[in-house]
Amino acid sequence: ILLGIALLFLGVAVVISYYMSKKAMTPITKAFSRQREFVADASHELRTPLSVMLSSINAMEMTAEWKKEDYSYKLLFNLKNEVKRMTQMVGDLLTLARSDLETAEQVNERFDFRPFAEKTMESVQTLADSKQINLFFEASESLIVYGDSQKFTQLLYILLDNAIKYTPNGGNVSLFLAADEKDLMMKVQDTGIGIDAKDQQQIFDRFYRTDKSRTRQIGGHGLGLAIAKWIVESYKGTIRVSSELGKGSTFTIKIPVYKSKDY
Ligand code: ADP
């Protein structure tokens, strides 16, 4: 009888604590969800005024006769850079907010990743040239994969952009791509400033940037790798970094992608 009563009490206690925790959790969960929706809506709404600002600045730049040493030209130049930076940040925030809301659709199309990779290399070439950085590209014969070409391209762009940003003038940045029946492998290697072991896991967190004094000079807002991680994980892949301060970093990505045998 005693055991029965004890079990009854235990059962009641479990039921009460379950309902209490549920009651306590619901408003918190709701608040988080409202916050995510707010970030997504706000980022979306901010894009329009930002693009109006950018096109107005471009128009101002074209219509007036500017001399590079003019104070007003310098102000306009700063304004343009800041608007561009904010546009990028708002776009990144929107991507992450949508990933939180899980409204982003998983696209799976069969495509050849090579032209996308080549285009991405072309788009970062100017940035590399401005720092006399040598870009190397090596890829396996076939890069036919299943997945989202836009997301995979965005992923590659984030890694290449970082590799160039965090590599001093005259360094090297290499991209290796390979695909087999199961996986797409991406490796981006640089001879840059490197990442301290204590930071290597945190760099994938939102807004995390390593030692502010070293990276402050280099533009960025700490969202790129969070987006990269989200893309990779949404395809059940892995992203790893190996790095040594002052020597360079290597980011390796493996994404399971089914490659059709009959291609
Ligand atoms: P951002 O580059 O905009 O600051 P990321 O999320 O892409 O944001 O990167 C987070 C941080 O990780 C960077 O601020 C930088 O400190 C570090 N990092 C990323 N890639 C590299 C790299 N290739 N070499 C050295 N540090 C890097």
Q: How far is the CA of 247 from the centre of ligand 1 (A)?
A: 15
- Regarding beta strands 144-147 and 109-112, do their DSSP bridges make them parallel or antiparallel, or are they unpaired? antiparallel
What does the alpha-carbon distance between residue 189 and residue 243 come to, in Å, rounded to a whole number? 9
What does the alpha-carbon distance between residue 249 and residue 173 come to, in Å, rounded to a whole number? 10
Ligand 1 contact via 166 beta carbon (within 6 Å)? yes
Of residues 211 and 238, more confidence is placed in 238
Q: 250: which strand partners?
A: 189, 242
In the DSSP assignment, the letter for residue 167 is S
Ligand 1 contact via 224 beta carbon (within 6 Å)? yes
What does the alpha-carbon distance between residue 208 and residue 228 come to, in Å, rounded to a whole number? 14
Contact 147, 184 (CB under 8 A): yes
What does the alpha-carbon distance between residue 193 and residue 164 come to, in Å, rounded to a whole number? 10
Tell me the per-residue pLDDT of 210-234, one tens digit each, with 9 for 90 and over: 876 566 677 788 899 999 999 999 8
Tokens for 68, please give them. 């590079």
Ligand 1 contact via 254 beta carbon (within 6 Å)? no
**Mean pLDDT in residue range 59-72:** 86
**Which among 92, 131, 162, 205 is the best mutation to test ligand 1's pocket, defined by most ligand atoms within 8 Å of the CB?**
162
Ligand 1 contact via 210 beta carbon (within 6 Å)? yes
Mean pLDDT of the chain: 87
Q: At 194, phi and psi to the nearest 5?
A: 75, 170
Q: What is the pLDDT of residue 198?
A: 92
**Mean pLDDT in residue range 14-23:** 71
Asked if pLDDT for residue 144 goes beyond 80, the answer is: yes
Q: What is the pLDDT of residue 3?
A: 77
Of residues 242 and 81, more confidence is placed in 242
Ligand 1 contact via 163 beta carbon (within 6 Å)? yes
Report the share of the chain in percent with pLDDT over 70: 92
Asked if pLDDT for residue 19 goes beyond 50, the answer is: yes
Q: How far is the CA of 74 from the centre of ligand 1 (A)?
A: 28
**Mean pLDDT in residue range 118-137:** 95
Q: What is the pLDDT of residue 263?
A: 38
The pTM of this model reads 0.81
Q: Is the dihedral of CA 114, 256, 148, 160 positive or negative?
A: negative
Q: What is the pLDDT of residue 24?
A: 63
The sheet that has 172-179: what strands, in order across it? 134-139, 172-179, 183-190, 248-256, 238-244
Torsion (CA) 66, 72, 74, 77 in degrees, nearest 10:
-80
**Mean pLDDT in residue range 132-158:** 93
What ipTM was predicted for this assembly?
0.99
In the DSSP assignment, the letter for residue 235 is T
Q: What is the pLDDT of residue 261?
A: 45
Q: How far is the CA of 39 from the centre of ligand 1 (A)?
A: 23
Q: What is the pLDDT of residue 17?
A: 74
Tell me the per-residue pLDDT of 2-17, one tens digit each, with 9 for 90 and over: 778 777 777 777 777 7
Q: What is the pLDDT of residue 212?
A: 64
